[in-house]
Amino acid sequence: MSQRIFIVDDEEHARARLAMLLSDIGEDCPNELVGEAADAAGALQGIVDTHPDIVLMDIQMPGMNGLDLASRLSLEGEGMPAVVFVSAHDDYALDAFEVHALDYLVKPVRAARLQQALRRVALLRGRSSGGSDVEQTRRREHFTVHERDRLLLVPVADVIYLKAELKYVTLRTRTRDYLIEDSLASIEEELDDVFVRVHRNTLVARKSIMGVERGTVGADGDGERGQEAWQVILRDVAERLPISRRQWPVVKALVR
């Protein structure tokens, strides 16, 4: 079933780009662009007139901003569209979810990410009859990282591994490390089809495992310093991660 989309952004080129992306993903994710607005006042009237399923909305706009508009829509109750924010800044992510936004996209938006957001909305709003798919979609799609005075959203798909160290967990992507406060146990329980435990303190993305090799593990490995043990070979990073004896059969099965 095609989803009816309304775009709210004060920049014409931003609206045009979203419209182009919607057209590009139309075959795999059917949608219909039913209207556009450059400000909140125009959006309110347009939403009433067109009855969209989803509003793709910028946050920083003249007059009433996107957060205020989303809050007003949520107060209207049933029949209001789902809100997906599309912003050039990630600073407002926490505020966005507090006004019941169903997703938060950071510009420049990729077609695949937009398609993911539309599918997420469709499933959460009951367009799919597959209960297991709905439950899967409700899982996190990003990790929330607090850095100084900002909040970052790191896509789960970008994570290569997670390692517990003292009170924090280090999250490793292709480009850098982040610190998060989630526990490995909770992440493993929620995302066991995405990550596999290779050691008592390490989860690795299944898709990032290229193979295994024998090597010498350090003091943080499974044994004394200098002991020979199996290690995970990772895509995109040169680092090797030790595999514990307990987890070796699981990892070995993945690389056969």
Instruction: Tell me: pLDDT of 221 over 60.
Output: no
CATH level 3 topology of 3-137: Rossmann fold (3.40.50)
Report the pLDDT value the prediction gives residue 129, as an integer from 0 to 100: 34
Which range, of 56-65, 96-105, 154-163, 170-179, averages the lowest pLDDT?
Answer: 96-105
> In which residue ranges of the chain is CATH 2.40.50.1020 found?
144-254
Looking at the chain, the whole-number percentage of residues with pLDDT higher than 90 is: 42
Task: Give the mean pLDDT of the chain.
Answer: 84
Question: Quick one: CA torsion of 108, 114, 116, 120, rounded to 10 degrees?
Answer: 120
- Give me the mean pLDDT over the 135-152 stretch: 69
Which of these CATH numbers, 2.60.40.1120, 2.40.50.1020, 1.10.10.1100, 2.30.33.40, describes 144-254? Answer: 2.40.50.1020
CA distance to 53, 91, 158, per residue, from 184 (Å) = 36, 26, 17
Report the pLDDT value the prediction gives residue 78, as an integer from 0 to 100: 64
Instruction: Please report which confidence band the pLDDT of residue 135 belongs to, taking 50, 70 and 90 as the band edges.
Output: very low
Strands 3-8 and 31-37: what pairing? Answer: parallel
Q: How is the chain classified by DSSP, letter by letter?
A: -PEEEEEE-S-HHHHHHHHHHHHHTTTTS-EEEEEEESSHHHHHHHHHHH--SEEEE-S--SSS-HHHHHHHHHHT-TTPPEEEEEES-STTHHHHHHTT-SEEEESSPPHHHHHHHHHHHHHHTT----HHHHHHHTS-SEEEEEETTEEEEEEGGGEEEEEEETTEEEEEESS-EEEE---HHHHHHHSTTTEEEEETTEEEEGGGEEEEEEEE--TTSSSSTT-EEEEEEESS---EEE--TTTHHHHHHH--
Report the pLDDT value the prediction gives residue 150, as an integer from 0 to 100: 72
Instruction: Tell me: pLDDT of 128 over 60.
Output: no
- Give me the mean pLDDT over the 54-75 stretch: 88
Task: Specify which of 17-26, 75-84, 125-134 reaches the highest per-range mean pLDDT.
Answer: 17-26
> In which residue ranges of the chain is CATH 3.40.50.2300 found?
3-137
pLDDT tens for each residue of 147-196? 776 778 889 999 999 999 877 889 999 999 999 877 888 788 888 899 99
Instruction: Tell me: pLDDT of 61 over 80.
Output: yes
